[in-house]
Structure 1
Amino acid sequence: MTSVDKPTTTASDQQRQDSGDVKAVTEAALFEAFGGVRGLIETVVPGLLFVTIYTVNKNLHAAAIAALAVSLLLVAVRLVLKDTPKHAFSGVFGVAFGVVFAMMTGNAKDFYLPGMMYTLGLALAYIITAIAGVPLIGLILGPVFKENLSWRTRNPGRKKAYTKASWAWGLILLAKSAILFPLYWWADTTELGWVLIALKIPPFLLAVYLTWVFLAKAPPPIDVFAEMEAQDKAEKEREAAARQGEA
């Protein structure tokens, strides 16, 4: 094959490749930050088990104990597999708070109340931090992308994407809360439980998808860890050169 026949990489080809790399990295980072498929399962299963048992026998204690037991089992599986247990642990705490609330009041609907309050608080946190110019999604994903807070002052396009994503998360969770809280007062336990289960995954996937869209179109992150390593290497080289000059 002659040099004329050899395929060449054009600027547009390189741009498409870079864009694909950014999208792949963004997708991987989102999966890491939010737990991926297993994280979704760990979020849904305890509540699903609670509402199923309560729907069948109306036994609050049995439903609560079963939900807590399966949460602990999910943590144990993570530990046995030596996988990151943070998402399973967060599920245990959420279920434990729900069990305590429900047991204290004797009202099975209160099993869902801590999670609902958390969702509302998180929605407000996303919106408030976006307004304040320190979008929460950037604080969450910055370390995952190894950019920390560099996006705040050095990467305005990325800050804009994080702000849009935080607004998306906040409004989606706020809409979810607007559906659940009236049901908490008006619906019975099983109706509230099944609606809550139905609203577990779709809003989350929508928020993750919008985050992926915003970040995939944003400038690539600045790897501050690589910068620090380069600075350390350059400093060591200067010190070595200085010692050689003195010798």
Structure 2
Amino acid sequence: MTSTDKPAATTDPSTPGAPEGADPQTDADAKAVTEAALFEAFGGVRGMVETVVPGLLFVTIFTINKDLHVSAIAALAVSLLLVAVRLIRRDTVKHAFSGVFGVAFGVVFAMMTGNAKDFYLPGMLYTLGLAVAYIGTSVAGVPLIGLILGPVFKENLSWRTRNPGRKAAYTKASYAWGFILLAKCAILFPLYWWADTTQLGWVLVSLKIPPFLLAVYLTWVFLAKAPAPIDVFAEMEAEEASREQR
């Protein structure tokens, strides 16, 4: 029986995330760890800024001069600059690179069609697809948030079979992300058809951070009340040490 198959041990009241009898300080520490892990997984404040800046620059320039090419090139240039800064500082670049790809697709779409609103279309389609993925994986019993955060909490997929309370929390969080993103799409897609580029752009920029923060907050609430993650890496190290001793 492998470390990922073994039944979960009974939760110790001193363990972060224990539902009953937990020490207040330990519980606070567990919540702090959960909060830090969430911000790490989703890019933190810097990641949010890097997500907003290219679109904000595009809509600002387009509002002023109505020049699609200048607006698109400026947005792409600032995305590349943000990646360069991260590379120079030797920081993680996954969030910055995802921003570059999103902006690049938007630039290509807008340039191909000549319609400035199409700069936003790839990101809107991605948001819709992500909403469907969050809800679909929750229905299938493999919530996407669990797949994203499992490695961050060093539990991998142990929550699926060994930690039902944590699986339930991931499922609730994934549903929350899915429905929040669907609500965002319900606002943006009608504007894509009916509003002009500047109206769509400013609404889209204003909806970048608040829905994200709401989803992260709800995820934190669900996980803070869930059982502690099972550190499968520590278990494997312990088993390896035991085998060496034998």
Please give the TM-score of this superposition, normalised by the length of structure 2.
0.91
Aligned pair 1:193/2:201, yes or no?
A: yes
Find the counterpart in structure 2 of residue 152 from structure 1: 160
Find the counterpart in structure 1 of residue 17 from structure 2: none
Find the counterpart in structure 2 of residue 97 from structure 1: 105
Rounded to whole Å, the distance in 2 between the matches of 1:91 and 1:53 is 19
Higher helix fraction (1 or 2): 1
Aligned residues: 229
Say which structure, 1 or 2, has more relative contact order (CA 8 Å, 6+ apart): 2
Q: Which structure is larger by alpha-carbon Rg, 1 or 2?
A: 1
Q: Which amino acid aligns with 1:197?
A: V
Find the counterpart in structure 1 of residue 116 from structure 2: 108
Find the counterpart in structure 1 of residue 190 from structure 2: 182
Structure 2 gap ranges (5+): 1-12, 15-19
Find the counterpart in structure 2 of residue 34 from structure 1: 42
RMSD: 1.3
Shift of the alpha carbon at 1:171? 0.2
Find the counterpart in structure 2 of residue 127 from structure 1: 135
- The list of structure 1 runs, each at least 4 consecutive aligned residues, that deviate by more than 6 angstroms after superposition, is 10-13
Residues 126 and 13 of structure 1: is their aligned pair in 2 closer, same or farther, counting only changes over 3 Å?
closer
Secondary structure in 2 aligned to 1:98?
Answer: helix
Find the counterpart in structure 2 of residue 79 from structure 1: 87
How is 1:200-239 mapped onto 2 (pairs within 5 angstroms)? Answer: 200-238=208-246
Percent identical: 82
Please give the TM-score of this superposition, normalised by the length of structure 1.
0.91
How is 1:132-147 mapped onto 2 (pairs within 5 angstroms)? Answer: 132-147=140-155
Q: Which amino acid aligns with 1:138?
A: G
User: For 1:158-180, what per-residue CA distance to the aligned partner results, in whole angstroms no more than 9, with x for missing partners?
Assistant: 00000000000000000000000
Q: Which amino acid aligns with 2:134?
A: Y
Shift of the alpha carbon at 1:96? 0.1
Q: Which amino acid aligns with 1:119?
A: T
Find the counterpart in structure 1 of residue 6 from structure 2: none
Secondary structure in 2 aligned to 1:33?
Answer: helix
Structure 1 gap ranges (5+): 1-9, 239-247
